[in-house]
Every structure is written in structure tokens, then in C-alpha cells.
């Protein structure tokens, strides 16, 4: 009986080993990709990494820095708002500067009153002198004229001080210098900012207070061509390019060449971290494109770009 039980367990062990061997030899079914991978549409196309940005006539996005240091008291716009030239964007604490303006305004008023008194006094001396030179001395007339000149000089001085104080007060409110769209606001009410910008918690660097983009139709993509691939760029007349959005099954988007920034510069990884500077140098090439209605695209998004020849 005992031998029979051992025989049964041995057979079961052999069968289990055969089953495990068959299961291990079976290749699992490969899962389909989460999205269509980027492919090169050209036989000898150049690959480049790109970043989406607002379309500009020159440069990149519009970075706004304040002209004075202070604490933000009001944020008058929201990210995504469209603003016109001259629209107020952000206000700073300006009580000290307002007091200075009021003080200078009062000083101007006093100087104007002194000037009027000096004018009246000199006119009286002048009429007396004209009526009879012996009635007053020449020294008195000269002193009256000098007092009038000093009063006028004081008024001019305080008037300039007053205008300078008002000009500085106006800088405590940041205005849009051009028409555009608010892309990002990097500070909130209570934040302290300076003409160097605002300290970024995540980037650990000084960032612009406001980043704006243009209002042109469509967006642009800035590509960074490795310096060893510059000689393989096709001529501008025959240049063609396509863009693929990462994480999307959308067909490749046709790009329209805008310009080349003819300045090869050190490559900084697109996470915008200064510590990631490498020895590779790149040439910026800018394209525009029409945003498909069924695709979500935002500035700052990384894309894959292939450049070839038509």
C-alpha cells in the first residue's frame, strides 16, 4: 500500500514538471503599444526634439520682469487671459512711494506759493523803482530779483522731484507692453519679487514674473538641431518637416518653416535646469503649424520632429 502511494505521488510530480515546462516554454502575448510610436517619414530625415511655444516674430516667449522690488498686492489677470497693450497685470505695495509723492506734491504747492509771493514782491519793488529811483536802493531791487530767481529755481527743482516720484510710483503696477496671451504667472499675492524676477520653488532659479505669448493664429515649435547634423539640413526652399505628439495616435502634423536662428549655442535640456548643460551645441529652427481641433496641445510641450527634403 505504501509503495502504491509513493508511485502515485511520483507520477503526479512528473506530470506537474511536464506542465510547468510547457507553461514556461509558452511565450506570452505581446501587449499592443499604448500609442503609436514616432516613425521617420523620410528616407534620410533628421530627428530633432522640439518644444511648443507661442508664435513670435522674433525671439521666444515674452518674459516680463518688474522694474521695482516689492510685495504683490493684486494679480489682475489669470493664466489664459488675452491682454491689450497698456492693460494692468500686477500691482505692488506702494504706500511708501505714495507718501513720497504726496510729500513732493505738497512741496510743489509751497514752492508755487513762494514764487507768487516773490513775483508780487518784485513787481512792487519794480513799480516803486520805476516811479522814482530815489525811493528805493538798487540793492533792494536786485535782492528782489534774486529772491524771484531762487523761488523759480526751487519750484523747478521740486517739480522735477514730483514728476520723478510719480514716474516711480507708476512702476509699482506692471502693464502689458504688447498685445498677447498670459501663459504663466509665477507669483501670487504676498510674494516678494525684484527686477531679477521671482525665485522658483521647483526650478531653484530666478524666473520671470509673467510669461506672455502672441495672439497669432497657430503655435510654433522650436527644434534643436545637433551641430553634427547641421550640414545635413536641406535647403530652405526644399525643407519639409513633420511633428509627432507624444502619447497621441494622431497622424503626423505638417510643419511650416518660419526661420532659423543663426546662432549655435550650448544645448540645455528642455527641463530648463541650468545644471543639465552638456557639451553638445545646437541650432534652433522654428516652424509653425495649425492645431488640429481634436488634439490638445499646450506651450511647453515636448514633441518629436523629423526634418527632410521635399
* Residue in 71, 87, 49, 303 with CA at minimum distance from that of residue 180: 87
- Start-to-end Cα distance in the chain: 85
H or E segment to which residue 151 belongs: helix 138-170
Using a pLDDT cut of 70, give the percent of the chain over it.
86
**Residue pair 284/257 in contact by the 8 Å Cβ criterion:** no
Provide the CATH number for the domain formed by 95-170 in this structure: 1.10.287
Q: What is the pLDDT of residues 73-132, one digit of tens each?
A: 999 999 888 899 899 999 999 999 999 999 999 999 999 999 899 888 888 888 887 777
Report, as an integer, the average pLDDT of 24-34.
69
Domain boundaries defined on the chain: 36-55+216-310, 95-170
Contact 227, 282 (CB under 8 A): yes
The pTM (predicted TM-score) of the whole model is: 0.65
3-state class (DSSP) for residue 52: strand
Average of per-residue pLDDT across 49-72: 85
Instruction: Give the phi and the psi of residue 140 in degrees, each rounded to 5.
Output: -65, -45
Integer Cα distance of 46 and 283 in angstroms? 13
Of 92, 123, 307, residue with least CA distance to 221: 307
What is the predicted pLDDT for the residue at 268?
66
Beta carbons within 10 angstroms of residue 53's beta carbon: 21
**pLDDT, position 34:** 64
C-alpha–C-alpha distance, residues 81 and 215, integer Å: 11
Q: What is the pLDDT of residues 207-221, one digit of tens each?
A: 899 988 776 656 889
Q: Which residues contact 256 (CB under 8 A, 6 or more apart)?
A: 287, 288, 289
Contact 220, 229 (CB under 8 A): no
Q: What pLDDT shows up at residue 248? A: 78
Running DSSP on this structure, what letter comes out for residue 194?
A: B
How far is CA 10 from each of CA 6, 20, 120, rounded to the nearest angstrom? 6, 15, 130
The secondary structure of residue 134, as a DSSP letter, is T
- The CA distances from residue 44 to 25, 221, 229, 234, 275, in Å, are 40, 21, 11, 10, 33
Proportion of the chain above pLDDT 90, given as a percent: 28
Instruction: Output b/e per residue, 207-234; b: 16+ Cβ within 10 A.
Output: bbbbbbbbeeeebbbbbbbbeeeeeebb
pLDDT at 4 (0 to 100)? 67
36-55+216-310: CATH topology: Elongation Factor Tu (Ef-tu); domain 3 (2.40.30)
Average pLDDT over residues 280-308: 87
Is the Cα torsion angle 38, 42, 48, 52 positive or negative in sign? negative
Amino acid at each position: 500500500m505504501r509503495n502504491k502511494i509513493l508511485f502515485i505521488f511520483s507520477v503526479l510530480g512528473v506530470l506537474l514538471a511536464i506542465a510547468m515546462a510547457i507553461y514556461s516554454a509558452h511565450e506570452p502575448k505581446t501587449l499592443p503599444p499604448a500609442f503609436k510610436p514616432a516613425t521617420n517619414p523620410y528616407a534620410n530625415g533628421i530627428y530633432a526634439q522640439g518644444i511648443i511655444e507661442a508664435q513670435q516674430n522674433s525671439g521666444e516667449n515674452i518674459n516680463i520682469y518688474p522694474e521695482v522690488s516689492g510685495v504683490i498686492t493684486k494679480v489682475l489677470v489669470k493664466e489664459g487671459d488675452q491682454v491689450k497693450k497698456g492693460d494692468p497685470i500686477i500691482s505692488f505695495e506702494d504706500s511708501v512711494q505714495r507718501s513720497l509723492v504726496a510729500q513732493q506734491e505738497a512741496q510743489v504747492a509751497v514752492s508755487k506759493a513762494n514764487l507768487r509771493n516773490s513775483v508780487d514782491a518784485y513787481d512792487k519793488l519794480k513799480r516803486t523803482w520805476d516811479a522814482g529811483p530815489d525811493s528805493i536802493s538798487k540793492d533792494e531791487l536786485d535782492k528782489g530779483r534774486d529772491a524771484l530767481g531762487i523761488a523759480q529755481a526751487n519750484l523747478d527743482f521740486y517739480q522735477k522731484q514730483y514728476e520723478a516720484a510719480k514716474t516711480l510710483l507708476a512702476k509699482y503696477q506692471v502693464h502689458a507692453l504688447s498685445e498677447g496671451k498670459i501663459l504663466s504667472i509665477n507669483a501670487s499675492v504676498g510674494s516678494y519679487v525684484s527686477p531679477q524676477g521671482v525665485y522658483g520653488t521647483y526650478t531653484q532659479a530666478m524666473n520671470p514674473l509673467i510669461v506672455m505669448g502672441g495672439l497669432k493664429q497657430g503655435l510654433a515649435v522650436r527644434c534643436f538641431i545637433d551641430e553634427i547634423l547641421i550640414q545635413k539640413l536641406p535647403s530652405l526652399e526644399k525643407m519639409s518637416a513633420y511633428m509627432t505628439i507624444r502619447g497621441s495616435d494622431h497622424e503626423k502634423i505638417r510643419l511650416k518653416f518660419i526661420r532659423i536662428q543663426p546662432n549655435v549655442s550650448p544645448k540645455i535640456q528642455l527641463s530648463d535646469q541650468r545644471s543639465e548643460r552638456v557639451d553638445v551645441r545646437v541650432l534652433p529652427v522654428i516652424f509653425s503649424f495649425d492645431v488640429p481641433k481634436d488634439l490638445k496641445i499646450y506651450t511647453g510641450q515636448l514633441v518629436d520632429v523629423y526634418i527632410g527634403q521635399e
